[in-house]
Structure 1
């Protein structure tokens, strides 16, 4: 499964910042004194697995950077040279990357012996709405970097255009590289986990990921009253509803909506489960409408 000498991602405990998942329906826990709110663990059947969450993050627009052991990526002529401007995943589970042409990362891949360039791609996920402790998670994908060969460039360009229709595209300014996945780690609002290559290849990204940012921004700017209405579903915590200065939708996936209740530098997350996993945007609208109706009726 792994090549000898596989570059290991940092252990979750060393990275920190990845809070565990929250309890079902509308449960939460008090925030830690520092860092993200840390809800209680949720049942496995009500949470996406680590492979799905990592696949979702890899295929998202979250910022990513390459770390190549032994390579000098601090060339002042190439600020941000370790950045991956676009990403896509092949059916085999390899990650296609676009990096600036002529950058140290592109040169290192071009001059390395075939498959010998170890690399770690670091991804940081930031909430698309203004909220305390805005970093929602981090992932590391370790593997081996190679240039995309001439015969593969056409299929790479098609996959990139499908994933990023507005560009950038392989060409004079951008060099396509292939990251063969060796192993991965993710730490986010739902917990931490290691991911093996076959798990990553078999996983599918969350179907709501492409809608999440726009949907959360819409809720945050236009539906504060409905979000505050969810407080009535919090059980014992309902007594503190009037004390929360901000009620912010912080994350969304096919299983539910996560809302952060904040006041005076403290707060907690509550995960409001959908009755069943949502498959598309129309199903999402129905699920959220039913959730808000339940809040207003309580």
Structure 2
């Protein structure tokens, strides 16, 4: 967290131990009671303290360049004494501006849209689902290369299945790095004969026909995706 006047504090002193989103879109952050952030919010004039919370989205799988995106939420901090357990303090961040920088580029999010948003239904299971896809369905994930068409020159007139075979024959690696209700993101790496320095990696996004609402719908969407790649 970035707070004007606390530039000398250690980064870990300004990192909340827990965070949650309130019903009106505000953020509730738990800090140790002796945190510089708590002291600053407690003694702020007009009971408001400007602050920016930076959130880094890291892929839960082992790949180079694991950062999938970043978000910055700026607003005003106030303290909520007596709400959490002893030794901890709850701070409320009223959201003024949200910025996101990810695979699709940088953009802003209106506070009203942030307040209306809801958590992705797969968020609590994403890590285990990605690991399962990588360990148990590695060949099928690699076969998704065939759906890229002319993008990498692997799938052409012979059809999608040819792309999957080309990926296997050239030793291409594929690691699923993100999964949400809208689709799957895979990182492909194709070796080019001269060692790792010549390898080339890129991310590809595979959208589901419709957003999934639970694990059962996810299974159906993944089967449909794998069948399309094998066809």
Alignment partner of 1:267: what SS?
Answer: strand
Q: Comparing 90-99 with 281-290, which one deviates more in the overlay?
A: 281-290
Listed one character per residue, the Cα deviations across residues 73-114 of structure 1 (whole Å, up to 9, x for unaligned) are 525xxx711111211111111000111221111111111124
Q: Comparing 264-273 with 219-228, which one deviates more in the overlay?
A: 264-273
* RMSD over aligned Cα atoms: 1.8
Matched residue, 1:273: 207
Report the alpha carbon displacement of residue 196 of structure 1 after superposing the two structures with TM.
2.0
**1:253 to 2:185 alignment:** no
For CA contacts below 8 A with separation 6 or more, give which structure has more relative contact order: 1
**1:218 to 2:153 alignment:** no
Give the Cα separation in 2 of the matches to 1:82 and 1:179: 14
Q: Which has the higher strand share?
A: 2
Alignment partner of 2:210: what SS?
Answer: coil
CA 1:114/1:222 → structure 2, altered by over 3 Å: closer, same or farther? farther
Matched residue, 1:285: 219
Q: How many residues align?
A: 211
Give the Cα separation in 1 of the matches to 2:47 and 2:212: 39
TM-score, normalising length: structure 1: 0.66
2:85 to 154, 171, 185: 171
Give the Cα separation in 2 of the matches to 1:118 and 1:135: 27
Alignment partner of 2:174: what SS?
Answer: strand
Report the alpha carbon displacement of residue 246 of structure 1 after superposing the two structures with TM.
1.8
CA 1:244/1:234 → structure 2, altered by over 3 Å: closer, same or farther? farther
Give the Cα separation in 1 of the matches to 2:171 and 2:64: 13
Structure 2 residue ranges without an equivalent (≥5): 156-162, 191-195
Q: Tell whether the 8 Å contact from 2:41 to 2:48 is kept in structure 1 after alignment.
A: no
Alignment partner of 1:250: what SS?
Answer: strand
Q: Tell whether the 8 Å contact from 1:186 to 1:192 is kept in structure 2 after alignment.
A: yes
TM-score, normalising length: structure 2: 0.84
Listed one character per residue, the Cα deviations across residues 231-270 of structure 1 (whole Å, up to 9, x for unaligned) are 2222233355233542000111211111110134422222
Give the Cα separation in 1 of the matches to 2:24 and 2:100: 20
Alignment partner of 1:67: what SS?
Answer: coil
Structure 1 residue ranges without an equivalent (≥5): 1-65, 154-169
Listed one character per residue, the Cα deviations across residues 203-237 of structure 1 (whole Å, up to 9, x for unaligned) are 22222222212111211222211111212222233
Matched residue, 2:170: 243
Report the alpha carbon displacement of residue 139 of structure 1 after superposing the two structures with TM.
0.5
